[in-house]
Structure 1
Amino acid sequence: MKLSFCTDSLGHLPFEQMLDKLLELGVYGVEMTTGGWSGAPHLRTDELLASKAKRQQVLQALESRGMQIAALNVSGNPLDPGQRHKSDTDKALQLAGEFGVKKIVMMSGLPPASPNDTIPNWITYTVSWPPTLKNCLDYQWNEVAIPYWLGLVARAKECGVEKFALENFSSMLVWNPETLFRLRDAVGPTVGLNLDPSHLLWMGADPIAAARALGPAIHHVHGKDVRLERGLVAINGLLETKPVEDVANRAWNYVAVGCGQDLQWWKEFFSVVRMMGYNDWVSLEMEDLTMSVEAGVTSSIAALQQTISQ
């Protein structure tokens, strides 16, 4: 495995300064954000699609440092009719084709619960009550998500993209291995999971068991940790609606790698992921708001360098 970096965490640095910072830390891969919920601080997709010279400047900056694009990231909700994310996804595919990038990291999307709704609806409660929820979930999958993804897989082949890695994020139709396989069985093996252990942990799942179940459906891995906060989970459970900035009062928080699970846990996680056949990029996604960006990035990279299976 090789260590890469999801670039938004250093979005305050200009592109080449960001690359130099990563090089100092021993990171040679970048997962570049292109749109969706990201402001895409380092890549201007429209400008790059319009200019071969600007695309060559990006590639030259990477090649001169011995660095590579691990994937393009366009994480958002392409099934939300109120967002521009469907267009962003199509542009990310075009840009991947121009750069020769074979992997897109994104999310499955979440549509409204009926043709008359305007707000996406994450149905995680039993569909037995109220019974109308089953019809809503069937609509989301069969009438919106699967047709969209069949078309997106076909478009990816036209652009030379070989893999979609869908993050198991909350408020998405694909949020765990079971839902990933529902989509994968419908649209084919181009779709796999971006295995992010942090989300599975706060949902109460075991990422190591999930890796075993996924096998070749692991298309990408995020090195991202979470901490279930002592005492608070026992009182209110794992469902949390407070803003991520309210770290002192949340039941769980995203934290630097090693500040949630210890390094022995991370060694086992990566060992099992490698054992199941994945031997590609592991991207640090640093979203710890309990410390400075500099401290979070530095300590997370040190932890990942000690634990990923080389």
Structure 2
Amino acid sequence: MKLGFLTACLPELPLPDIAAWAADAGYEALEVAVWPSTGSRDFEASHIDVANFGAGEAEQVGELFEKHGLTLSSLAYYENNLHPDEARRAEIAAHVKRAVDAAALLGVETVGTFIGRHPGLSVKENVELAERVLPPLVEYAGERDVKIIIENCVMEGWHPDGYPGNIAYSPELWEWMFSLGLYLNYDPSHLLWLGIDPVTALKPYVDRIPHAQAKDAQLDPAARNRYGFFGKTITREHPWDEGWWRYRVPGRGQVDWSGVVDALYEGGFTGVLSVEHEDPVWSGTEAKVKQGLEIAHRTLRPLITG
């Protein structure tokens, strides 16, 4: 197992600067953000331009990672593959394919994305839609020896009422998506606030987890007593303002990291555990983001052998 982080938390820095800092900070891998330079998400990052990527660019990226002794663990493009606008959905699918092509050139095993959700349809209807939309992407990736991995993020901000906007949030849905040839990019933080024990949920599925993310969550039960499970309604300031929980870097929340890492080892996991930094306390400036990554490293590094 290696320890890395997702580059999306440093959107303004170029990849060479991130790689140099990561190596100096003791990280061993990077999960590289490959959103387009313009798009629908306010925290997107584009550290590899997969829309204009060929053998020459792959060689340059390979040399960069070799120079710093780093592994490129995955390419990250987390978007709504069931977007209600069919034209936008087609754009997203096309970019997933470009990410797969780049991964194949780089020798990277996985491309990460979301299943997503059409918010005007029920979960059952979304499952039926996904069974039409996703298999062609799985086949395209498989032909290039790349796996598509799905993060179990709830993406509640994509739904007008804060309900799940990505139908991959529970083990029941993981089993369904595995049947489509998809894999899991396991993140325990989302399970914690859903009331699902992250370690118990993880253990049966390690063989379908080629890559994992490390994000923590901090819960406030007193605030939940006011707002309810789905969070604020009238006083919600933005789509992600749930009011009773927030994401934290590992070591500043309530995830049992010893239990998570032990379960990964016991299940035979040999991939990368990638810190996904979305901690509001350690955000706002480059210096604070890097401090957050250092906290995560101090928390997780002692748990990873080798």
TM-score bracket, shorter-length normalisation = 0.7 to 0.9
**Could you tell me the percent identity over the aligned residues?**
26
Matched, 1:98 2:89: no
1:298 and 1:243, CA in 2 relative to 1: closer, same or farther beyond 3 A?
farther
What residue in structure 1 maps to residue 50 of structure 2? 45
Question: Of 170, 176, 179, which aligns to 1:182?
Answer: 176
Q: Is 1:7–1:33's contact at 8 Å kept on the other side of the alignment?
A: yes
Question: Of 86, 96, 111, which aligns to 1:89?
Answer: 96
C-alpha distance in 1, partners of 2:289/2:102?
Answer: 29
C-alpha distance in 2, partners of 1:288/1:29?
Answer: 20
Whichever of the two has the greater Rg, that structure is 1
Query: How far did 1:201 drift?
Result: 0.6
Structure 2 counterpart of 1:151, one-letter code: P
Deviations 1:154-201 (A, max 9, x none): 11122221x22211111112112110101222x23xx22111011111
What residue in structure 1 maps to residue 143 of structure 2? 158
What residue in structure 1 maps to residue 231 of structure 2? 240
Query: How far did 1:85 drift?
Result: 1.7
Question: Of 196, 199, 204, which aligns to 1:208?
Answer: 199
Matched, 1:168 2:171: no
Question: Of 222, 244, 253, which aligns to 1:251?
Answer: 244
Match of 2:78, SS state, is coil
Query: How far did 1:81 drift?
Result: 4.3
Matched, 1:11 2:11: yes
Q: Which ranges of structure 2 fall in alignment gaps of 5 or more residues?
A: 155-164, 283-287
What residue in structure 1 maps to residue 127 of structure 2? 141
Q: Is 2:211–2:273's contact at 8 Å kept on the other side of the alignment?
A: yes
Q: Which ranges of structure 1 fall in alignment gaps of 5 or more residues?
A: 112-119, 124-135
Query: How far did 1:244 drift?
Result: 7.0
Deviations 1:285-307 (A, max 9, x none): 01111233132111111111122
Q: Is 1:245–1:289's contact at 8 Å kept on the other side of the alignment?
A: no
Match of 2:206, SS state, is helix
C-alpha distance in 2, partners of 1:280/1:243?
Answer: 38
C-alpha distance in 2, partners of 1:138/1:214?
Answer: 23
1:13 and 1:158, CA in 2 relative to 1: closer, same or farther beyond 3 A?
same
Q: Is 1:32–1:69's contact at 8 Å kept on the other side of the alignment?
A: yes
What residue in structure 1 maps to residue 185 of structure 2? 194
Map 1:220-235 to 2 at 5 A: 220-235=211-226
Query: How far did 1:230 drift?
Result: 5.0
Q: Is 1:267–1:309's contact at 8 Å kept on the other side of the alignment?
A: no
The TM-score, its normalising length taken from structure 2, stands at: 0.84
What residue in structure 2 maps to residue 290 of structure 1? 281
Of 36-45 and 72-81, deviating more is: 36-45
Query: How far did 1:12 drift?
Result: 2.3
Matched, 1:268 2:250: no
C-alpha distance in 2, partners of 1:182/1:276?
Answer: 20
RMSD: 2.2
